[in-house]
Each structure stands twice: as C-alpha cells, then as structure tokens.
Amino acid sequence: MRSLKDPEQKQALREERRKKRRFASGIRQRWLKSILSLMAAIVILVGVAFSVANGVYTYSTMRSGLEAEANTTAAFLRNYLNLDYNECYASCVLLVQNYAGRDRLELQFVGSKGEVLASSYGLFAEETVRSADVSQALETKSSVYYVGENPSTGERIMSVATPMIYTDGRVVGVLRFVTSTRNADRYVVLGMLVAMGFALGALILVYFSNRMYLRSILEPVAEITDTAKRIAAGSYGVQIQKKYDDEIGVLADTINDMSNKISQSERMQSEFVSSVSHELRTPLTAITGWGETLLEGDADREETKRGITIILHEAKRLTSMVEELLEFTRIQDGRFTLNVRSCDLRADFEDMIFMYGSRLRQEGIELEYRDSDDEIPEISCDPERMRQVFLNILDNAAKHGGEGKRITVSMGLEGDHVVTRIRDYGPGIPEEELPHVKMKFYKGSSKARGSGIGLAVCDQIVELHGGRLSLENAPGGGTLVTVSLPVTQ
C-alpha cells in the first residue's frame, strides 16, 4: 500500500529543486550579465579599433602609392617644361597615352577647364572632371588628394591631381592619377567581418567557459546550502563531501566542523541533562525518604538526628548545584559580575586549605600545602569567586584523583603573576580529553558525580580576572591544575 505522504514528499522535492534552480539561475544570470557585458564592451572596442586601424592603414597605403606615382611622373615631366609650350603640351599627352601603369590605375591629363585631354585608358571615362581635386589643384597650383564618389559614375575613387606649370607660370594641365577604391573597400569590409567573427567567437568562448566555471562553483554551493539546511533542521553531524582545495573546500570544512561541534554540543547537553537529572534525583530521593521516615515518627533520637543530618547535607548539595547552574547561566547571558577589591590572596588561600584539609582527612586524603618564601602582594580580585575556583578544583582533585590519597598545593610569585598549582596523584586525564575538559557540559570518560560545568565556570571566572587556568597530566601521574593571576590589572 502506497504511503499517503508520497505525494507530499514528491512535491517537497520538486519545490526544493525549483529553489535550487532559482538560486543557481539568479547567480548565473548576474554573473553572465556582468561578465558578458564587460567582455562585449571590450571586444566591441577592440573590433572597432582594429577596423578603424585597418581602414586607415589600407587607405593611407593607397594614398602613399598614388602620391609617390604622381611625384615620380611629375618629376619626369618637368624636364619638358623648358621646351616650347606646344611641345610640352604634346609631351604630357603622349606620356599619358603611353603610361605603363594603366593596369593598376588611370592617368589623366586634364585641361585648365577640367576637360579630360588624354587618358591612359584610351577612351575617356568622363569628358569633364567635376570632382574638387582638379579645381583645387588649378587654383592652388599644388598637388591635391581626393577620395570620394565619382560624380559621373557614382563609383568610389581615390585620386591625386598634380598641376604641370610652364616656365612663365601658366598651367599646362593637370596630371590626375585615379584608382577605384572597390578592392580596398572590400578588404576593409572583409577585415571588419573577420574582426566581428573573432569578437563573436570570443564572446561564445567566454560564455561557455563561464558557464562551466559557474557550474563548478554553483553545484558545490548548492550542496553546501542543502547540507546547511539539513543541519538547521536538526540533522547534526552530517558532512559535506569536499571536492576542491580552494575557498569552496574551506567553506565545506568550516561547515563540517560546525556540524561536528553542534552534534557534540547537542550530545554534551543531552548528557548534561541526564547527569543533572541523576544528580538531582539522588539527593531528592534521600530527602524524600528521610522526610517520610521522620514524618511517621517511629524513628528514635539517634536515627532522627542522622536523618536530619542527611537531609541538610543533601539540601546543601542541591543548593550548590543550583547556584552553579545559575552562575553558569549568568555567565552565558553576560550578567555575571565581579566584586573586585584589594585582598591578601595568600591568606585567604591558606585559610581555605586549612578548612578543606580537615574534610579531606576524614576521607583518607592528605592535603599537603607547600609554602613559599615569595613576598606576594595584595592583588585586585573577587575573593569569593577565587575561593569558589580553588574549592571547585580541590573538589575535582578529590573526586577524580582521590584514589592517590594525596593532593599537593602551592602558591608563589612568578614574574608579575601569582601562580597557584593544585596536583592530585590519581590516574590523570586521557590525552584525547585534555583539550575538552574546560568545555561546558563535558564530563569525558569520568564516572564521578558532577554536572560538567564546574570547570567551565572556573575558567570564565579566571578569564574575567585577566588570568589563565590550565590543566595537564603531571609527570609521574595525576593531574596538575595551574591558575595564573596578574598582580596588577
């Protein structure tokens, strides 16, 4: 029988795919628009620049060739300008009619009124030259360059008109070199088409290369996004497959680390709730049991005294646990404050050692205080909080290292810091657990009573004093806890 949730699940999957497509298409469109717009602008500019440069080069080469031909021919004909005017005129006509370069261009001999007197083509393409080059050459008596449309035929031409001036200043005629720009125009257009083809090919190459590049980014990002959503939905500990050793790979590593830490935090909080529940249940059970016993009134005086003592002891345990939890909550919320004043830390520490030592002796543990000759000045601190730190460390030493039956403590001045060391002679802390012992809710492999937040609170108190709390395994066995506080703050 098909599940009723199947259509809903399929719809959810389709919606998820649509979201991924919208996500990918949004980035892809923005990326391609920006890149293609930039590349199109660059390619168009390069194409226009190439086309302009190609056209300028082509036409300037044609012009240089015409001017060189005109100068050479004019220089040759100047040898005839000292002859009789009619002989000079006839020499110009004869030269034009027998011009050897007629396969490349047309040479015309034009009269003073613009009429074509002779042409290297034999038949006149036009009877009268109406373009401006001839009239300007006659007027200025100098060579004139012209490019434009032939008024008679509509063909684009390029010409150079050079006047032939007789010795008395009269203009014999104008030598006009004319060529069609058809081939040059075709070459320029072909160059533009080639440039456009290259531009189009470059844009296509950029487009597809960018699509491939975007795919290499968007697919891992989509996978990372999907995994992040799963983590946000409660699938702590899931991992992303790392495919690249780049920024995407670093992001994947970071999210994987975050997922592991959240999973670890969730596990630690679950263990904390279980541990606190057990810690609360034990004293509450004792209090309830003895309360019911005393309420019945059947107990004798000694048993009543013992029951009340147990009730008071367990009530103090509960009070201590609640205070520890409240302090931890205040630290987490940023509401934890210190009552700082100048105090003799050594004197307070020795009083605490004397008081706590008698309690440990009842449990068969020797507390050895190693005094130092250092002159320890008064420092600014919260003595109640520091007393709490030292008592918590001593309590941990008794719980976790009590089987060594010995705890040594010392306080001395090292540079500008007051350093306190507390060492037990128990089994120590497993090396793999050392980096985590100050983390909130962490209990590690220890089976001893506790909520797992005592050291986290102590570490925060020491840090608020500008100091440092560290734990390590001591040489020869046991755990060494060091508290370092600055003399001046």
Strands of the 406-414 sheet, one edge to the other: 366-370, 406-414, 417-424, 479-486, 468-473
- Segment 260-274 shows an average pLDDT of 68
In a domain, 1, yes or no: no
Q: Give the span between the Cα atoms of 268 and 280, in whole angstroms.
A: 18
Q: Clarify whether residues 222 and 363 are in a common domain.
A: no
Q: Interior CA angle at 336 toward 334 and 337, to 5°?
A: 125
Residue 34 to residue 454: CA distance in whole angstroms: 56
Neighbouring C-beta atoms of residue 380, cutoff 10 Å: 17
Same domain membership, residue 348 and residue 428 = yes
pLDDT tier at 422 (50, 70, 90 boundaries)? Answer: very high
For residue 21, the model assigns a pLDDT of 53
Indicate the residue among 180, 196, 216 that finishes a domain: 180
Hey, which residues does 106 pair with through a beta bridge? 178
Nearest to 380, CA basis, from 333, 338, 323, 326: 338
Q: Is 480 helix (H, G, I), strand (E, B) or coil?
A: strand
Higher pLDDT, 4 or 124: 124
- How far is 267 from 265, CA to CA, in rounded Å? 5
Question: pLDDT category, 484, cuts 50, 70, 90?
Answer: very high
Element housing 161 (H / E): strand 156-165
pTM of the complete model: 0.45
For residues 411 and 377, what is the distance between their CA atoms, to the nearest angstrom? 12
Q: Is 479 helix (H, G, I), strand (E, B) or coil?
A: strand
Domain extent for 357: 341-486
In the predicted structure, residue 420 carries a pLDDT above the cut 90:
yes
Residues 134 and 97 both lie in one domain: yes
Residue 2 binned pLDDT confidence (cut-offs 50, 70, 90): very low
Between 339 and 233, whose confidence is greater? Answer: 339
**Residues written for the chain:** 489
Say if residue 164 is in the same domain as residue 220: no
Rounded Cα–Cα distance for residues 488 and 467 (Å):
11
Regarding whether 300 and 431 lie in a shared domain, the answer is no
Number of domains in the chain: 4
CB 184 within 8 A of CB 178: no
Range from 111-120, 154-163, 284-293, 462-471 that averages highest in pLDDT: 462-471
Cα 137 to the center of its chain, rounded Å: 69
pLDDT one-digit tens code per residue, 353-400:
888 888 888 888 888 888 888 888 889 998 888 998 998 898 888 888
The rounded distance, in Å, linking the Cα atoms of 110 and 93 is 10
